[in-house]
Amino acid sequence: MWRDTIVEEVRELRRRYAKQFNYDIEHICQDIKQQEIKSGRNTVSLPAKRTNSTARRGNAKVSAKPGLTNR
């Protein structure tokens, strides 16, 4: 099977980075936000786009389990 060494390298770097934070997405996001602030560059925060599926649900909150909703 064909192997893409660049993809493998990126995946390994991503794995090491996530491991630093015990794969905790909250901590990973906090670190990324801190890096944005330290960089001194201007960043843009855009509002989330509504998709057709979210527009049909209205204000219903979707649970983590498919097929279940919390209202």
Q: Residue 62: is its pLDDT beyond 90?
A: no
DSSP H stretches of helix in 2-67: 5-20, 25-39, 52-57
For the chain, the domains span 1-41
Q: Residue 64: is its pLDDT beyond 80?
A: no
Tokens of 15: 């794995």
Continuous segment of H or E residues that includes residue 61: strand 61-62
0.85 exceeded by pTM = no
In this structure, what DSSP letter does residue 64 have? Answer: S
Structure confidence at residue 32 (pLDDT):
95
Structure confidence at residue 11 (pLDDT):
97
d(CA 62, CA 54): 9
User: Of 12 and 66, which is predicted with more confidence?
Assistant: 12
Each residue of 11-55: pLDDT tens digit? Answer: 999 999 999 999 999 999 999 999 999 999 998 888 988 887 655
